[in-house]
Chain A
Amino acid sequence: MVIACQNAAFGYEGNTAVSGLNFTVNSGDYLCVVGENGSGKSTLIKGLLRLKRPQSGSVLTGDGLLPAEIGYLPQQTAAQKDFPASAHEVVLSGRMGARGIAPFYSRRDKSVVDENLRLLGIESLRNRCYRELSGGQQQRVLLARALVATKKLLLLDEPTAGLDPTATADFYELIAKLNRGGLTVIIVSHDITSAVKYASHILHLRKKQLFFGTTADYLNSETGKLFVGGAYSD
């Protein structure tokens, strides 16, 4: 078990956004969290990252995973779109959490960054300005930043929002490759087609947990049939 929820509920200022969460993610799993807008997906992400405390129940981590060891790929904010920073500066900032109080990056931090830029095939973007990259390139830079932060668990929040179909497909292939390399992946997405294509497990939310299990079971379940069939598509 890498991370798990036991009867967890999360919400804002007394309102519960999502409740009844019971699921376990094991090492090497690829979990896709699906559900409509407002179903509690983003709130769950905040809970898993410990940015938000559960209102009830608990979030457990195992396999020696510290809460700060989750690589996170957040949705982009408007402020980032025109941020003057080189790709290298952005990726390097992923090492900050591991630095603790130490003020400057070590040579090792820089070599980890170079390694991951190579892994994702974006060495050529190293000195380019982040705001001048295409959407797909920006996502790869943010992915590299998440990977230099940790190699244990990767949490992605709507990573393909705003990408064109080719860039989306490339990005999913990249994540699948990393997953085959042993990285545990949790991805939040609208994109049910890609979810069932790549994920090993599905968690379906609508204010509460509608389904959790393997992708094969999901496709045979009532919830899965309805959702994948397009009845809920948005």
Chain B
Amino acid sequence: MIDLLLEMFSYMFLVRAVVVGLLVSLCAALLGVSLVLKRYSMMGDGLSHVGFGTLAIATAMNAAPLTVSIPIVVAAAFLLLRISENSKIKGDAAIALISTSSLAIGVVVISLTTGMNTDVCNYLFGSILAMSKSDVNLSIALAAVVLALFLLFYNKIFAVTFDENFAKATGVKTGLYNMIIAFLTAITIVLGMRMMGSLLISSLTIFPALTSMRVCKKFKTVTVCSAFVSVICFFIGVVISYVYATPTGASVVIVNIVAFLLFWATNLTIGRIKK
């Protein structure tokens, strides 16, 4: 086991990928608790599709993927938030609309420029090789910002997640904090997207939260537990992906599924014993 890990981490690209991946899974898990409880689970999914579109455009323009993706995905996150708050198009329909549109635009841009090749497959399902050195530095910096903001706004995020109307009525600037949640989610999605794949990245926000909600009873414990679950699942997923040469994103999701089932079974057993 130790030998295997030493062998893995003798590859610099794997070290980079694991460092960024661990940070992204941590951020995603923390935000995911709020997203799932606010019924915004599909937001991550919608944003990752927007991310796919922007990756395609960035590649076509020969630009750095992160610098193109981040502003556009953040803008899309604010747009989704506004639409779900005020418009006659309901949130879930708005997300479906935006995500399929960006997917379509991305596919057309790709087929007009590079053509449909393995790149497309990598965008959709992720690649561990996606991280360059400069990407890693930017990713670590951004992930640190996301973590810091989350910790700083933890209490506000709880207040707007549990009861937005009450928070607003007692003078909490709920609009601002919703925007912060959307902003942090957008950054996290973009950072994790190329490694996990745009079709799979939203699982990082949803699974750990749902998994820890099976067992935990407090918001704080749910948050802490999902952070641990997410980081551990990511690590196991990467090792499995290395050993069996399976795609990284999909392997991480499979480990998350197993964790979810384990927690669910634990909860059922505890319930039985109590009765």
Q: Tell yes or no: B55 within 8 A of A by CB.
A: no
| Contact A93/B169 with A80-B163, A85-B218 known, Cβ cut-off 8 Å | no
> Which of B159, B163, B165, B219 contacts A84 (CB under 8 A)?
B219
The answer to whether A84 and B162 touch across the interface, beta carbons within 8 angstroms, is no
Q: Tell yes or no: A231 within 8 A of B by CB.
A: no
Chain A binder among B76-84, B118-126, B148-156: B148-156
List of B residues within 8 angstroms of A50 by Cβ: 169
| Contact A84/B166 with A79-B37, A96-B159, A103-B155 known, Cβ cut-off 8 Å | no
Q: Tell yes or no: A97 within 8 A of B by CB.
A: yes
Interface centre among B37, B163, B168 (most CB of A within 10 A): B163
Q: Tell yes or no: B216 within 8 A of A by CB.
A: yes
The answer to whether A96 and B218 touch across the interface, beta carbons within 8 angstroms, is no
* Measured CA separation A132–B216 after assembly (Å): 12
* Measured CA separation A98–B163 after assembly (Å): 16
Please count how many residues in chain B sit with their CB below 8 Å of the partner chain's CB atoms: 27
Contact bitstring B39-62, A, C-beta under 8 A = 1, else 0: 100000000000000000000000
Q: How far is the CB of B82 from chain A (nearest CB, A)?
A: 16
* Measured CA separation A145–B172 after assembly (Å): 14
Q: How far is the CB of A72 from chain B (nearest CB, A)?
A: 4
* Measured CA separation A94–B213 after assembly (Å): 23
Q: Tell yes or no: A9 within 8 A of B by CB.
A: no
Contact bitstring B207-241, A, C-beta under 8 A = 1, else 0: 00000010011111010000000000000000000
* Measured CA separation A149–B172 after assembly (Å): 11
The answer to whether B37 and A97 touch across the interface, beta carbons within 8 angstroms, is no
* Measured CA separation A144–B265 after assembly (Å): 35
A window 6-53: CB within 8 A of B: 49-51
Q: How far is the CB of A161 from chain B (nearest CB, A)?
A: 16
The answer to whether B156 and A96 touch across the interface, beta carbons within 8 angstroms, is yes
Q: Tell yes or no: B242 within 8 A of A by CB.
A: no
Q: How far is the CB of B148 from chain A (nearest CB, A)?
A: 11
Contact bitstring A95-114, B, C-beta under 8 A = 1, else 0: 01111000111000000000
Q: Tell yes or no: B158 within 8 A of A by CB.
A: yes
The answer to whether B219 and A85 touch across the interface, beta carbons within 8 angstroms, is yes
List of B residues within 8 angstroms of A51 by Cβ: 165, 168-169
* Measured CA separation A145–B169 after assembly (Å): 13
List of A residues within 8 angstroms of B39 by Cβ: 79
* Measured CA separation A68–B174 after assembly (Å): 13
* Measured CA separation A83–B159 after assembly (Å): 12
* Measured CA separation A67–B83 after assembly (Å): 27
Contact bitstring A136-157, B, C-beta under 8 A = 1, else 0: 0000000001100110000000
> Which of B169, B172, B219, B220 contacts A49 (CB under 8 A)?
B169
List of A residues within 8 angstroms of B170 by Cβ: 68-72, 94, 96-98, 149-150
List of A residues within 8 angstroms of B166 by Cβ: 72, 74, 93-94, 145-146
The answer to whether A96 and B172 touch across the interface, beta carbons within 8 angstroms, is yes
The answer to whether A86 and B219 touch across the interface, beta carbons within 8 angstroms, is yes
Q: Tell yes or no: B167 within 8 A of A by CB.
A: yes
Q: Tell yes or no: A175 within 8 A of B by CB.
A: no
* Measured CA separation A72–B165 after assembly (Å): 9
* Measured CA separation A60–B24 after assembly (Å): 49
The answer to whether A132 and B172 touch across the interface, beta carbons within 8 angstroms, is no
A-B CB proximity, top 7 nearest: A68-B171, A97-B170, A129-B217, A97-B171, A49-B169, A96-B159, A85-B219
Binding site for A on B (CB under 8 A): 37-39, 152-156, 158-159, 162-163, 165-172, 213, 216-220, 222
Beyond the given A74-B169, A105-B155, please list 13 additional residue pairs across the A-B interface where CB-CB is below 8 A: A51-B169, A68-B169, A69-B170, A77-B163, A86-B217, A86-B218, A90-B162, A93-B159, A96-B155, A97-B172, A103-B153, A104-B155, A128-B217
